[in-house]
Amino acid sequence: QVQLVESGGGLVQAGGSLRLSCAASGRTNSRYGMGWFRQAPGKEREFVAAISGYTSITYYADSVKGRFTISRDNAKNTVYLQMNSLKPEDTAVYYCAGRNSALVVTTSGQYDYWGQGTQVTVSS
């Protein structure tokens, strides 16, 4: 019922910035918690950031704290991931995810909706 589409990926030099967007369509609601995950070749999908419904409480993986910011614009049904001070180890396919609960979670299996992913490549 809900479709998510990511955009904003690309190639950036180390130390640069990039802003990812996740547009939701279908039956959307500001109550839904949203998250960002990433997956590099040969590695498992890992949690990056999440934002809760209602109160928009945020949570970040230790590897991105202080560099990445997750936010949401409920009027536009869009979630953002602002990525600053990018490092080569941030290179991965980034996925937007949503769930029917407002609670913030960090496990991919607890999300109900997924986008197609967008490639982020950071050169050194």
Do the beta carbons of residue 96 and residue 34 sit within 8 Å? yes
Tens of pLDDT, residues 55-64 = 999 999 999 9
* Pairing mode, strands 46-51 and 118-123: unpaired
Which tens digit of pLDDT belongs to each residue from 5-23? Answer: 999 999 999 999 999 999 9
| pLDDT-derived band at 32, boundaries 50, 70, 90 | confident
For 34-80, write each residue's pLDDT tens digit. Answer: 999 999 999 999 999 999 988 999 999 999 999 999 999 988 989 99
DSSP assigned state of 32: S
Given a cut of 90, is residue 96 above it in pLDDT? yes
Phi, psi of 69 (to 5 degrees): -135, 125
DSSP 12: E
